[in-house]
Amino acid sequence: MQSLNISSSALRGIQLGLDNTANNLANVETVGYKRRAASFSELLADSFNKQPDTDTQNRTTPAGLRLGNGAALNMTKLDMSPGNMKQTDEPTDLMIEGEGFFLVSRVITDATGAQVGEEFRFTRDGAFHLQESEYHGAFVLVNSSGYVLTNEIGAPILIPEDEVNELTISNDGFVTANGNDTFERVGIWKVDNPDQLQQVGNNLYDPALGAQNPADVYAAWEDGMATAIRQGALETSNVNMQEEISQLINIQRAYQLNSRAIMIADQMMGIATSIRS
């Protein structure tokens, strides 16, 4: 029975690892996507130390027998290594050079259209477009999910122009429209431990889970860290296709091994049952 438990627990972990690899492969072309690396850990093991004296003679290994219970998926660690740069020459496309996230927000309204709250998300996806907002009374930068890019204090970046013919964003985040200074600055935010962020879909992260105390999330411009914004470029996914395919092959081999172990254990139990009967 122990062999069945070990192999079945391994198969459950392998299935989760396969799901993680499949998600990475599905997002190989997603702008700003950060891959997750699966790591496994051993389940609780039993140690048998009281053995006959004859078992300790001429022994080079530590005393006792260690009986494991299999392995399970421990965590999927967020890989924050940078992706490659993709030059687009679109003035609304932005890329973070260095660490940090864009903070985007969306107004939550009720059935009458009244604001009842505001939702904030982190993202590395800098594919924005200009959109005239009646709610804000100005042009705003919006991503594909309808979230508005915010400034360094978490408020939406407003461009008070009747028509935007020229948009310029400097390396340190200051926004200029039609040659006029908007006095807005793109906010870049850093997280001490990005693994605390929860992915909520659409290449977005929930920042609330990463802010257990004020020191966990902070503005990169105030920190003075080497971070810059490149206009007219996007950060590609950091998924390495060759590495993921190799991981997929390893998962397949591990799945075959544990499936074979279950089949052999079942055959042995069948033989033992037939002998006893």
Kindly report the CA angle at 111 between 106 and 113, in degrees rounded to 5? 55
Considering the domain boundaries, does residue 8 fall inside one? yes
pLDDT given for residue 169 in this prediction: 95
Considering the domain boundaries, does residue 56 fall inside one? no
pLDDT given for residue 244 in this prediction: 93
pLDDT given for residue 76 in this prediction: 82
- Tell me if 44 sits within 8 A of 5, measured CB to CB: no
Considering the domain boundaries, does residue 71 fall inside one? yes
Domain check: are 197 and 261 in the same one? no
pLDDT given for residue 193 in this prediction: 81
Overall residue count recorded for the chain in this entry: 277
Two tokens at 148?
């508005």
Determine the 3-state secondary structure of 144 from DSSP: coil
Q: Domain range spanning residue 40?
A: 2-49+64-80+240-276
Which residue, 219, 235, 251, sits at the end of a domain? 235
The single residue listed with the structure tokens 């049952």 is 273
Domain check: are 41 and 117 in the same one? no
Domain check: are 76 and 90 in the same one? no
Considering the domain boundaries, does residue 59 fall inside one? no
In 10 A of CB 64, how many CB atoms? 14
Considering the domain boundaries, does residue 105 fall inside one? yes
Considering the domain boundaries, does residue 28 fall inside one? yes
Task: From first to last of the 277 residues of the chain, give the pLDDT tens digit.
Answer: 677 777 888 888 888 889 999 999 999 999 999 999 887 777 766 666 666 555 556 666 666 666 667 777 777 888 889 999 999 999 999 999 988 899 999 988 788 777 788 889 999 999 999 999 888 889 999 999 999 999 988 899 999 988 999 999 999 899 999 999 999 999 999 888 888 788 888 899 987 744 444 446 777 777 666 588 999 999 999 999 999 999 899 989 988 888 888 888 888 888 888 887 6
Domain check: are 216 and 267 in the same one? no
Considering the domain boundaries, does residue 57 fall inside one? no
Domain check: are 74 and 89 in the same one? no
Domain check: are 169 and 247 in the same one? no
Domain check: are 94 and 69 in the same one? no
Residues 190, 220: Cα–Cα separation, whole Å: 6
Domain check: are 110 and 174 in the same one? yes
Q: Is 37 exposed, middle or buried (0-12, 13-18, 19+ CB in 10 A)?
A: middle
Domain check: are 139 and 10 in the same one? no
Indicate the number of domains in the chain. Answer: 2
Residues 220, 172: Cα–Cα separation, whole Å: 10
Domain check: are 68 and 90 in the same one? no
Amino acid at 263: M
Domain check: are 231 and 246 in the same one? no
Domain check: are 134 and 261 in the same one? no
pLDDT given for residue 210 in this prediction: 47
